[in-house]
């Protein structure tokens, strides 16, 4: 395992890492809240973390009562402006370039902010493990809703939104206590099994089952690279663990993937 603080200069470790990225034939990216902090969205556990201010409403609480649903929507709309204003940062853009150039096949994300899609990565290449908070849907008939009208109605009536079919409307996210989405889990598992390099960016790797994918990839022979501000649960398994800010690190790495031979340490 190579463990580095970033920037690490023109060292053999950096050249080796660039060569591994350039040599990879099937690179898969896995992101967490840390990729989006440079866009102004706080992560869970860092300073200013959202859940230090707002305890999340569990799925069971949401289903069980109107007061649970009201609390859910109050919290959602209290943090909504932050999400609406957020734009992809240079880390998102560097990852989008990895996908556009064909080096990365997909991005598996725990994030719910939609910034990978906004950065230009096609929907089909973003695997959302915890759903998406930029729109809502009916839990019964799956009809999709934009948030604007729901917000106006909620602020006017104080009642949680209901679909015409009678079903509860909820943001398209996976709340604590809600089953993981089958399709996204299957696609992420296939991606983890079939890649030769698994690149983790901005995740504490503490939320299971999402944090199982880097382990699957590594056990199946892929190289594991972790980029995070601080050490993570899985640094001990990683081939490279880089500690620093995701945006500058990714921008540097993606700008410097030349031919594998130029990058490889002599």
Between CA 30 and CA 35 the distance in angstroms is 10
Residues 6+ away with beta carbon under 8 Å from 1: 235, 236, 237, 238, 239, 240, 241
Q: Which is nearer to ligand NAD, 24 or 110 (CB)?
A: 110
DSSP3 helix / strand / coil % (the chain, rounded to 5): 45, 20, 40
Told to judge if 92 belongs to the known catalytic residues of this protein, a careful annotator would answer no
Residues 247, 90 contacting (CB under 8 angstroms): yes
Q: Which is nearer to ligand NAD, 67 or 176 (CB)?
A: 176
Q: Under the rule (CB under 6 A), what is the footprint of ligand NAD?
A: 32-34, 36-38, 41, 43-46, 50, 110-113, 130, 202-204, 206-207, 228-230, 245-246
Q: Which is nearer to ligand NAD, 218 or 264 (CB)?
A: 218
Residues 66, 130 contacting (CB under 8 angstroms): no
Of 116, 130, 137, 243, the catalytic one is: 130
126-128 vs 169-173, strand pairing mode: unpaired
Q: Which is nearer to ligand NAD, 111 or 117 (CB)?
A: 111
DSSP state, residue 55:
P
Which residue minimizes CB distance to ligand NAD?
34
To the nearest whole angstrom, how small is the minimum distance from the Cβ of residue 46 to ligand NAD?
Answer: 5
To the nearest whole angstrom, how small is the minimum distance from the Cβ of residue 8 to ligand NAD?
Answer: 15
Q: How many helices (H) and strands (E) in the chain?
A: 11, 10
Q: Which is nearer to ligand NAD, 26 or 216 (CB)?
A: 216
> What stretches of the chain adopt beta strand conformation (E)?
2-5, 27-31, 104-109, 126-128, 131-138, 144-145, 169-173, 197-201, 223-228, 240-243
Q: Active-site residue numbers?
A: 130
């Amino acid at each position: 395992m190579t463990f580095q603080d970033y920037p690490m200069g023109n060292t053999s470790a950096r050249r080796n890492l660039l060569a591994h990225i350039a040599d990879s034939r099937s690179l898969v990216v896995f992101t967490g809240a840390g990729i989006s902090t440079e866009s102004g969205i706080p992560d869970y556990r860092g300073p200013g973390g959202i859940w230090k201010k707002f305890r999340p409403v569990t799925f069971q609480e949401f289903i069980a009562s109107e007061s649970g649903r009201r609390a859910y929507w109050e919290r959602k709309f209290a943090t909504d402006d932050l999400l609406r204003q957020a734009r992809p940062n240079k880390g998102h853009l560097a990852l989008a370039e990895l996908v556009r150039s064909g080096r990365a096949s997909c991005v598996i994300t725990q994030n719910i902010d939609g910034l990978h899609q906004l950065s230009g990565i096609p929907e089909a290449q973003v695997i959302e493990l915890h759903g998406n908070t930029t729109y809502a849907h009916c839990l019964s008939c799956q009809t999709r809703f934009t948030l604007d009208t729901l917000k106006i109605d909620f602020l006017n009536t104080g009642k949680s939104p209901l679909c015409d079919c009678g079903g509860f409307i909820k943001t398209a996210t996976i709340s604590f206590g809600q089953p993981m989405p089958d399709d996204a889990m299957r696609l992420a598992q296939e991606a983890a099994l079939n890649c030769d390099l698994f690149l983790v960016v901005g995740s504490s790797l503490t939320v299971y089952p999402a944090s199982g994918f880097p382990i699957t990839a590594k056990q199946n022979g892929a190289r594991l690279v972790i980029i995070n501000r601080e050490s993570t649960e899985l640094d001990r398994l990683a081939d490279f663990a880089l500690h620093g800010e995701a945006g500058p690190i990714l921008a540097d790495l993606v700008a410097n993937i030349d031919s594998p031979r130029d990058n490889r340490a002599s």
